[in-house]
């Protein structure tokens, strides 16, 4: 018998994971690797979170929880919105999810039917496009450029053809690190709300910003906010995130979560609750990202890679390297093979224009970032 893989299963790979695999294979042969490819803090979960996890293992059954998470964590997340943004969020509007990735699946399923049309900007985080495709939701790609700092605007949305049901924004963005100022996010949220367009605001890089105030869409009556413990809280592998839902969605999300995941890992929920009290350690990580950012902002232009929007937040630089190649995939492969420097080809983020772009992630150890810049400069001298 011959069986077919479903069309939904035939989505594109998340290329950065493929680069990660290639870098891992190289490391296993004993060759050095300078990991500027993945958006993963090089630090573990903060000490307080690790302690809470150990105590939970020793002292608790760690069985299933409510599908939307333990109440103390949902209350703590609600408190975070009050303290950090001055926005009142009822704990019932918070759903704790298996990473923001699990949160996106729940949000997309709850908000959109198959066949709905959801706008994504180019460049943007590739899993939005791939997840929506797997769910049978159509994506409308809206190219953005430096003139809007790679962020969407109401004017750009008005120029799109055909009806739209949703919009995904990320501020700070992956891959560019650019942010929507509070008034621009508010203008977008109001535009979407008035037209019945569901705004999904990816805020997973909040906490990692360089002198710019982050704004949340949690105050909008119809927007869905997606967040995570992966980045600022340095807990990627714990697979825990959260949603802040508008009034019409908590029941749908809860029922979807009950059936799809049951709950986010219980041990991670206890660790995440404690992570809110680890600010000092976490702010230390942000200071390191800020130092690494300065290294890239001076090293890259000095080697002729200067065409990028200065990142406001997150830990990425997305640079045009059209003067070096029109095949960013081959460029990244050769760079890895010859120098051990791992970066991500732009095709992951922008299928059309990304063949001329690459993303540098600078959340690695500062020594690795410095060594990567030295090796990249030597590579360009040799090949240029």
Ligand X SMILES: Cc1ncc(COP(=O)(O)O)c(C=O)c1O
**Which parts of this chain interact with ligand X (CB under 6 A)?**
39, 99-101, 125, 170, 174, 202, 204, 228, 230, 236, 241
Asked if 315 and 234 count as a contact pair (C-beta separation under 8 A), the reply is no
Q: How far is the CB of 104 from ligand X (least distance, A)?
A: 7
DSSP 166: E
Residue placing its CB nearer to ligand X in the complex, 121 or 222: 121
**Closest approach of Cβ 331 to ligand X, in Å?**
22
| Least distance in angstroms from the C-beta of 315 to ligand X | 10
Report the relative pairing of strands 357-361 and 344-345 from DSSP bridges.
antiparallel
Instruction: Output phi, psi for 137, to 5 deg.
Output: -105, 135
- State the nearest-atom distance from the C-beta of 224 to ligand X, in Å: 13
Shortest distance (Å) from residue 304 CB to ligand X: 27
Q: Which is nearer to ligand X, 174 or 263 (CB)?
A: 174
Q: Toward ligand X, which CB reaches closer, 127 or 329?
A: 127
CB 266 within 8 A of CB 258: no
CB of 377 to ligand X, least distance (A): 27
Is 342 in contact with 353 (CB distance < 8 Å)?
no
How far is Cα 234 from Cα 40, in angstroms, rounded to an integer?
8
Q: Which is nearer to ligand X, 151 or 339 (CB)?
A: 151
Closer CB to ligand X, 168 or 335, in the complex: 168
Cis ω on the peptide bond leading into residue 352 (within 30° of 0)? no
Q: Classify 54 as helix, strand or coil.
A: helix
85 vs 238 by CB, closer to ligand X: 238
Of 339 and 350, which has the nearer Cβ to ligand X? 350
Burial of 16 (0-12, 13-18, 19+ CB in 10 A): buried
Shortest Å, Cβ 214 to ligand X? 14
Q: What is the dihedral of CA 309, 310, 314, 317, to 10 degrees?
A: 60
CA atoms within 13 A on the CB side of 219: 16
Select 266 or 361, whichever has its Cβ closest to ligand X. Answer: 361
Taking the complex as a whole, the smallest distance from the CB of residue 216 to ligand X amounts, in Å, to 15
State the Cα torsion 242-248-253-256 to the nearest 10°. Answer: -170
Smallest distance, ligand X to C-beta of residue 11, A: 16
Select 126 or 299, whichever has its Cβ closest to ligand X. 126
**CB-nearest residue to ligand X:** 99
Cα separation, 235 vs 272, in Å, equals 8
**CA dihedral for 174, 176, 181, 187, sign (positive or negative):** negative
Which of 200, 25, 130 minimizes the C-alpha distance to 348? 130
């Amino acid at each position: 018998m011959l069986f077919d893989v479903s069309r939904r299963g035939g989505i594109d790979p998340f290329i950065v994971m493929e680069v990660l695999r290639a870098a891992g294979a190289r490391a296993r042969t004993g060759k050095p690797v300078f990991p500027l490819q993945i958006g993963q803090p090089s630090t573990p979960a903060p000490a307080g979170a690790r302690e809470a996890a150990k105590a939970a293992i020793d002292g608790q059954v760690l069985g299933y929880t409510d599908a939307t998470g333990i109440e103390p964590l949902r209350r703590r997340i609600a408190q975070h919105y009050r303290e950090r943004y001055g926005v009142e969020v009822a704990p019932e509007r918070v759903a704790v999810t298996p990473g923001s990735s699990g949160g996106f699946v729940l949000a997309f399923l709850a908000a959109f039917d198959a066949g709905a049309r959801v706008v994504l900007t180019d460049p943007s985080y590739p899993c939005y496009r791939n997840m929506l495709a797997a769910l049978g939701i159509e994506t409308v790609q809206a190219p953005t450029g430096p003139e809007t700092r790679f962020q969407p605007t109401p004017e750009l949305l008005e120029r799109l053809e055909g009806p739209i049901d949703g919009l995904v924004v990320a501020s700070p963005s992956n891959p560019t690190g650019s942010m929507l100022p509070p008034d621009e996010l508010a203008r977008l949220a109001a535009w979407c709300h008035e037209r019945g367009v569901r705004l999904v605001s990816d805020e997973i890089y909040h906490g990692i910003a360089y002198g710019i105030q982050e704004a949340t869409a949690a105050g909008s009556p119809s927007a869905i906010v997606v967040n995570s413990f992966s980045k600022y809280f340095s807990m990627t592998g714990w697979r825990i995130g959260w949603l802040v839902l508008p009034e019409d969605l908590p029941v749908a999300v809860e029922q979807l979560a009950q059936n799809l995941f049951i709950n986010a890992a219980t041990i991670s929920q206890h660790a995440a609750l404690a992570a809110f009290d680890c600010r000092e350690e976490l702010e230390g990580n942000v200071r390191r990202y800020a130092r690494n950012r300065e290294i890239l902002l001076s090293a890259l232009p000095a080697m002729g890679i200067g065409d990028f929007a200065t990142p406001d937040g997150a830990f990425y630089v997305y640079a045009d390297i059209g003067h070096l190649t029109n095949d960013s995939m081959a460029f990244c492969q050769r760079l890895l093979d010859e120098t051990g420097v791992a970066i991500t080809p732009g095709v992951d983020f922008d299928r059309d224009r990304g063949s001329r772009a690459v993303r540098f992630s600078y959340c690695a150890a500062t020594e690795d970032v410095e060594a990567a810049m030295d090796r990249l400069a030597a590579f360009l001298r040799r090949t240029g």
